[in-house]
Amino acid sequence: MSTAMNAMHPGPLARVQYKTGIVVIGAGQAGLSAAYYLKKSGLTQGRDFVILDQSPQPGGAWQHRWSSLTLSTVNRIHDLPGLSFADTLDGNAPEVRANIAVPHYFEAYEKKFGLIVYRPVGVKVVCERNGRLRVETDGGYFSAQGIINATGTWETPYIPEYPGQGHFKGLQLHTKDYQSAKAFSGRHVVIVGAGISAIQLLDEISQVTTTTWVTRRPPEFREGSFDEGAGRAAVAIVEDRVRKGLPPRSVVSVTGLPVTPAIESMRARGVLNRLPMFSEITAQGVRWSDGREQLADVILWCTGFRSSLDHLAPLMLREENGGIIMAGRLATMVAKQPRVHLVGYGPSASTIGANRAGRAAATELMTYLGMGS
């Protein structure tokens, strides 16, 4: 068994086993933040920690977003520690594609701080083995003292089940599948969901074809500014849930949707005519409980994502209700398994929350394991 990886030559892993202190799984915002603080604390890459990422290039989930998503339409991208996002931008920043700008930023960040990320490496399972954590990947095996899991949600799209779903003759897609509104031209699209992505895609698609917008709950629009105090209050609500072991809610579910010029324009165009959730799906469309029907060619499920944690199943972290009891200063530590920290989960599922959580997880895990300066 090798005691350290050759940290000077990242790339595909040989199918052997490596022994290290901490494995960081995922190199998005939260994973890079955690790795930065591990290295800053004096840990050596390879011997003390490694970073694994399943994507072939830097950028986390951002590299997979649709091309029409620009920096002017996304939530703010908060700076990673030590490098300003603005310093890596070229040209007219608001109109730059997010799936180009953010991956470029992450790549520049990895280079600036010498963060060596092994990719593409997919983690298949994490389990107990001889008092340590065995991390099995598609390119090798790791024996670690602890892990910082930063796998996010992009790989786990959620689509609720409805009667008749399998009989629909049209297309059923998820936000993750979306590329361009042009693909829907001439088709009637039922858009399901009340989050920011649902609103953005409804705006784009409604400009090229007819749409029907349905949500499980009436959407809540937020007028006026959303200051730092309101943001902290919203995050606190989500944090309280995960500390109790309840499944996390998204931060936007407790903040509401900001009223933007795009939303004002949609109102003027009559696009924001929200309907309640249908009761069943038919071969040709959707039907409500009162018998009303809507023919449709496409059902676009903008129904969010779930945390990508299936690889941690052998550790039995979840409670009966599906939640995980979280502890630690910023609720990143799994209460029943302190060697495991989850960043980008619950209250840290935002760019600013991911930064703070990365630091807390790195600091607390090193202290627990007796590592670092």
Q: What is the pLDDT of residues 15-43, one digit of tens each?
A: 557 899 999 999 999 999 999 999 999 99
Query: What number is the average pLDDT over the span 78-89?
Result: 88
Assess if residue 242 is contained within a domain. Answer: no
pLDDT tens-digit profile of 96-117? Answer: 888 888 999 999 999 999 999 9
Asked if pLDDT for residue 1 goes beyond 90, the answer is no
- Quote the pLDDT of residue 308: 93
- Quote the pLDDT of residue 35: 97
Residue 361's H or E segment, with its range, is helix 351-369
Between 16 and 263, name the one with better pLDDT: 263
Side chain identity at 93, as an amino acid letter? A
Same domain, yes or no: 325 and 288: no
Asked if pLDDT for residue 76 goes beyond 80, the answer is no
- Quote the pLDDT of residue 92: 56
196 and 218 Cβ atoms separated by less than 8 Å: no
Same domain, yes or no: 55 and 110: yes
Assess if residue 244 is contained within a domain. Answer: no
Assess if residue 9 is contained within a domain. Answer: no
Same domain, yes or no: 196 and 288: yes
Q: Domain total for the chain?
A: 2
pLDDT > 90: percent of the chain: 65
Assess if residue 160 is contained within a domain. Answer: no
- Quote the pLDDT of residue 231: 66
Same domain, yes or no: 67 and 178: no
Least confidently predicted of 119-133, 185-199, 230-244, 264-278: 230-244
Least confidently predicted of 37-41, 56-60, 200-204, 219-223: 219-223
Q: What is the CATH number of the domain that holds 363?
A: 3.50.50.60
- Quote the pLDDT of residue 9: 41
Same domain, yes or no: 59 and 111: yes
Least confidently predicted of 146-155, 167-176, 342-351: 342-351
- CA 294, distance to chain mean position in Å, is 32
- 328 backbone φψ class: left, alpha, beta (φ>0; ψ -120 to 50): left
Asked if pLDDT for residue 372 goes beyond 90, the answer is no
- Quote the pLDDT of residue 328: 95
Q: Can the peptide bond before residue 120 be classed as cis, meaning omega within 30 degrees of 0? A: yes
Same domain, yes or no: 311 and 294: no
Assess if residue 245 is contained within a domain. Answer: no
Domain end point (choices 301, 320, 355): 301
Asked if pLDDT for residue 207 goes beyond 80, the answer is yes
Same domain, yes or no: 175 and 261: yes
Same domain, yes or no: 192 and 295: yes
Assess if residue 240 is contained within a domain. Answer: no
pLDDT band at 6 (very low <50, low <70, confident <90, very high): very low
Residue from 211, 360, 207, 193 nearest 298 by CA: 211
Same domain, yes or no: 276 and 343: no
Domain that holds residue 195: 165-220+256-301
pLDDT band at 12 (very low <50, low <70, confident <90, very high): low
Secondary structure class of 212 (helix, strand, coil): strand
Asked if pLDDT for residue 11 goes beyond 70, the answer is no
Same domain, yes or no: 208 and 281: yes
Same domain, yes or no: 25 and 151: yes
Assess if residue 239 is contained within a domain. Answer: no
**pLDDT averaged over every residue in the chain:** 88
pLDDT band at 219 (very low <50, low <70, confident <90, very high): confident
Residue from 118, 126, 153, 178 nearest 298 by CA: 178
Same domain, yes or no: 24 and 149: yes
- Quote the pLDDT of residue 132: 96
Whole-angstrom distance, CA of residue 121 vs CA of residue 140: 9
Assess if residue 104 is contained within a domain. Answer: yes
pLDDT tens-digit profile of 114-128? Answer: 999 999 999 999 999
pLDDT band at 78 (very low <50, low <70, confident <90, very high): confident
pLDDT tens-digit profile of 276-321? Answer: 999 999 999 999 999 999 999 999 999 999 999 999 999 999 999 8
**Sign of CA pseudo-dihedral 189, 190, 191, 194:** positive
pLDDT band at 68 (very low <50, low <70, confident <90, very high): confident
